[in-house]
Amino acid sequence: MGLLMGKETQVEDYNEIAERTFSDRKRTNILKSLEQSTIVFLLPKVPKFISPNVLTLTGTLGSGLVFLAFVLGAYVANWYLLLGIIGLAINWLGDSLDGRLAYYRNIPRRWYGFALDIIADWIGIVLIGFGYYIYAENGTQIVAFAFVALYGWSIIISQLRYKITNEYSIDSGFVGPTELRFIIALILITEVLFHGSITYLAGLITIILLIINTVDSLKLLKLGDLKDKNQG
């Protein structure tokens, strides 16, 4: 009986934390359930002296480690690219927990956190893109520029969607930042095993991002048109 009550309390605690920390955004990505469960598990374990701002900085430092991995991979040894996987994990940890920790501790600064999150995301993707620019060979640096530009486009789409629908979502269908980190990690591993493959894989991802952004932009314009008609 006691064990059953303990399990019920545990479920209630999970539901309470999830409701409090994820109420400000809509998620549709494939890894949504696993990611949310992991975040809810980690939040109570974050030491008191670590603030949401510290986690934001940690996430940015993770992107800096990915940048360093590309530089070392270009000038020292190819296998240093694997450091980028650690950097992506650190980036996920900081980026995923910072805002959630604020809501968990009941100290959210909604608009400050919103602005800081967007700025940190942009700095992070520029660091990763610039790192790849340094690593890229034979004129393929244009892919790095295209990747950063297209990711920036996706950020703009998410902000415009928020403005039009009043629902904040950082995902594009089944793909979100977490899935993108996994894809980048797989590209790094593949490049270590098969040198030169990153050019084709990064190019493929860039093309996919272009298609996704184009589709999302058309959907966004339809939402804007519908809102105009309803308000008219």
Question: Residue 17: pLDDT band by 50, 70, 90 thresholds?
Answer: confident
Torsion 168-173-175-178 (CA) sign:
positive
Residue 224's contacts (CB-CB under 8 Å, 6 or more residues apart) are: 160, 164
Taking the C-alpha atoms of residue 74 and residue 77, their distance in angstroms, rounded to an integer, is 7
Whether residue 9 has pLDDT greater than 50: no
pTM: 0.87
**pLDDT for 37-79, tens place per residue?**
899 899 999 999 999 999 999 999 999 999 999 999 999 999 9
Taking the C-alpha atoms of residue 33 and residue 37, their distance in angstroms, rounded to an integer, is 6
The pLDDT > 70 percentage for the chain reads 93
**pLDDT for 81-134, tens place per residue?**
999 999 999 999 999 999 899 988 888 888 898 899 999 999 999 999 999 999
Q: For position 7, what pLDDT does the model report?
A: 46
Whether residue 3 has pLDDT greater than 80: no
Q: Which two tokens stand for residue 34?
A: 């696993």
Instruction: Name the residue among 101, 91, 142 with its Cα closest to residue 121.
Output: 91
Q: Which two tokens stand for residue 108?
A: 């959210």
Indicate the SS3 state at residue 42. Answer: helix
Question: Residue 26: pLDDT band by 50, 70, 90 thresholds?
Answer: confident
- The strand ranges marked E within the chain are none
Q: For position 215, what pLDDT does the model report?
A: 92
